[in-house]
Chains A and B, each alone.
Chain A
Amino acid sequence: MSTYYNPLRKYLRVISGSWAEFTAYRLNFVLWRVRMVMQILVVYFLWWAIFSSHTVLFGYTQSMMLTYVLLSSIIRSIVLGTRTDEVGDVINEGNLSNFLVRPINFFRYYMARDLADKALNVLFAVAEIALLIVLLHPPVFLQADIGILFLSSIAVVMGMTLYFCVSMLLGFLGFWIPDFWAPRFLLFIIIEFFAGGFFPLDILPEPFFAVARSLPFSYLLYFPLKVYLGQVPPGSIVLEFGVGLLWVSVLCAALGIVWRKGLRAYAAERR
């Protein structure tokens, strides 16, 4: 009698295992979310203060800017929520060998872990933002156009894929560099800045904005949020998605090349 083998089952187990792992230290997780809320509040009140003497600033109304700030918290949980930041340590400590000798795909394993991480963080982020909306009554801009909502969802998925590739590539530094936390930290700060995580990129002076848009990172947060706010002209939206997809393809290809080169350099040290 043959039994049906579901190849996805092992990854579903990874998702449920990861979820159990993240929720095991509940107080730590709650503190992590408290930190996130505090960060949102600081940025929120900063913009609230700046808009107290302006109706429109940098081309944004107060409502649009506060929507950008609050919504970026949810998008951040989806796009930047990842467990691939442990990849460098996995390589450095020789634990990559565990993946190489088992019938499990390293990339799919981390995709599954990322899904668990994103699901948990999104759950909390949505609840927090809802609470902040109830408490602060911010003039949030609600997008009613289904087409735009659909396009912004596609942009979020594109950002998620892009960040998975970028974060994995940073982790792969571990193949060649033992002390890689500083380059990773620096690159993460640069990525967060150029992704529009601190403020919308189009408030930057023109040369900085041009630099930011020539990098792939603006497709992580800035682009999905601009699509949601309806600020991407219909004439350029196809081109924008095209460039975003091009970046995804380039980074996916780079990921494969670096992975193969890395495996050749991998010596399973400390094992």
Chain B
Amino acid sequence: MGRYIRIYRELLRLNLSALLAYRSNFVNSVVASIAWGVFSLISIILLTYRTQSVFGWTREEILLLTGAYSVLIGIFHTLFSRNFERFSRLVLYGQLDAVLVKPVDTQFLVSFWLVNYAGLFRVIVGAAFIIYLLHALTITIPVSVGAVFLLFLIAGVLLLYSVWFLAATLTIWFPRLTNIVDVMYTVSGISRLPREMYQQLSWYIFLFLLPLTFIVITPVRALIGNVTPTDSIGLVSFAFILFFLSRKFWQFALRFYTSASS
């Protein structure tokens, strides 16, 4: 474990050097990240300004959901998104060979190689919005509740990562599936709306989407004090089960890697 922490520290340092080398690209990314975060918040504020509640969620709770989504997706973009974008290229051009021969866990290397520091600005936008909203609603959050919120947020990131990794692993069989990441961006967006909304879908589509509905809803419900055991157990169980499955699926998929373009 200590070895992996040291490797990751080194990766953080290397990514920081790359950032300093390509400063204009970083500034572009920061501006895009902040603008997209602010834009998502403004559009949901405008959309709900004449609506008091939807499916038992008050307007303020939906805004909180959007703020928490912004924090979670910001963390996810910082740590993982760029790596998934690189993932399909690694497979398509046979560059995965260079990863496989290293004496480090391959899932770790393909998942953590790149760090997108600009994503942190999305986290800041989301966190600032949550703090503002809680202040406006005069809600005080005890430290214990804040800690539970953060733990659930981490579980949410793990769950989202596992879903993305399961999908990205398919590129081992279908190397030309380079836009699977674009689809996953849309899939992630499902988690920012109330679960009840999707219950109108046929049950098999709802079951398919069910894990995603725990990702942001559970931390937000913990924050506003109405989290149910189903929410908590659902989030943690899905996070660990899907993470376990993603590892097994990856190990299974590697048997079929042909290194075609190398």
* Distance A49 CA – B24 CA, assembled complex (angstroms): 43
Q: Which of A36-52 contact B (CB under 8 A)?
A: 38-39, 41-42, 45-46, 48-50, 52
B12-20, B43-51, B66-74, B232-240: which lies at the interface: B43-51
Tell me, yes or no, whether B203 is within 8 Å of chain A by CB.
no
Task: From B46, B177, B201, give the contact of A208 (CB < 8 A).
Answer: B46
Interface size range on A against B: 20 to 34
What does the 1/0 interface line of A45-68 toward B look like (CB < 8 Å)?
110111011000110000000000
Q: Is A27 an interface residue (CB 8 A)?
A: yes
Interface locus among A120-128, A185-193, A230-238: A185-193
Q: Say how far A134's CB is from chain B's closest CB, in angstroms.
A: 13
Which B residues lie within 8 Å of A27 (CB)? Answer: 174, 176-177
Say whether A45 contacts B179, CB under 8 Å. Answer: no
- Closest Cβ of chain B: how far from A173's Cβ, in Å? 12
Kindly state the separation between the CA atoms of A28 and B179 in the bound complex, as whole angstroms. 6
Set of chain B residues within 8 Å of A186, measured between Cβ atoms: 31-32, 35
Q: Does A247 contact B (CB under 8 A)?
A: no
Question: A193 vs B186: C-alpha distance in the bound complex, in angstroms?
Answer: 17
What are the residues of chain A within 8 A of B39 when measuring CB–CB? 189, 193
Stretch at the interface among B106-114, B192-200, B222-230: B192-200
Determine if A193 and B43 form an interchain contact, defined as CB atoms under 8 angstroms apart. Answer: yes
Total interface residues on B, using CB and 8 Å? 37
- Pair B176/A25 contact, Cβ less than 8 Å: yes
Which partner residue on chain B sits nearest A208 by CB separation?
A: B46
Whether B25 and A205, one on each chain, are in contact in the complex, defined by CB atoms closer than 8 angstroms, is no
Interface string of A195-230 (1 = CB under 8 A from B): 000110001110010000000000000000000000
Task: Report whether over half of chain B's contact residues are helix, strand or loop; otherwise say mixed.
Answer: helix
Closest partner residue, chain B, to A32 (CB atom): B179
Residues of chain B with a CB closer than 8 A to A208's CB: 46
Residues of chain A within 8 A of B95, CB atoms compared: none
| B245 at interface by CB-CB < 8 Å | no
Q: A35 an interface residue at 8 Å Cβ cutoff?
A: yes
Kindly state the separation between the CA atoms of A57 and B51 in the bound complex, as whole angstroms: 9
User: Measured between C-beta atoms, what is the minimum distance from A128 to chain B in Å?
Assistant: 14
A35 to B188, CA, bound (A): 11
Complex contacts, B186 vs chain A, CB 8 Å = 35, 38-39, 42
In Å, the complex CA distance between A181 and B32 comes to 9
A-B contact pairs, 16 of them (CB 8 A): A27-B174, A27-B176, A27-B177, A28-B178, A28-B179, A31-B177, A35-B182, A38-B187, A38-B190, A39-B189, A42-B186, A42-B193, A53-B54, A189-B36, A203-B47, A205-B46
| A-B interface, 10 closest residue pairs, ranked by CB to CB distance from nearest | A182-B28, A182-B32, A35-B183, A35-B186, A49-B197, A38-B186, A45-B197, A49-B54, A28-B179, A179-B24
The interface of chain B, by Cβ under 8 A from chain A, is 24-25, 28-29, 31-32, 35-36, 39, 43, 46-47, 49-51, 53-55, 174, 176-180, 182-183, 186-187, 189-190, 193-194, 196-198, 200-201
- Beyond A39-B189, A182-B29, 5 additional pairs, beta carbon < 8 A: A28-B178, A31-B182, A186-B32, A189-B39, A208-B46
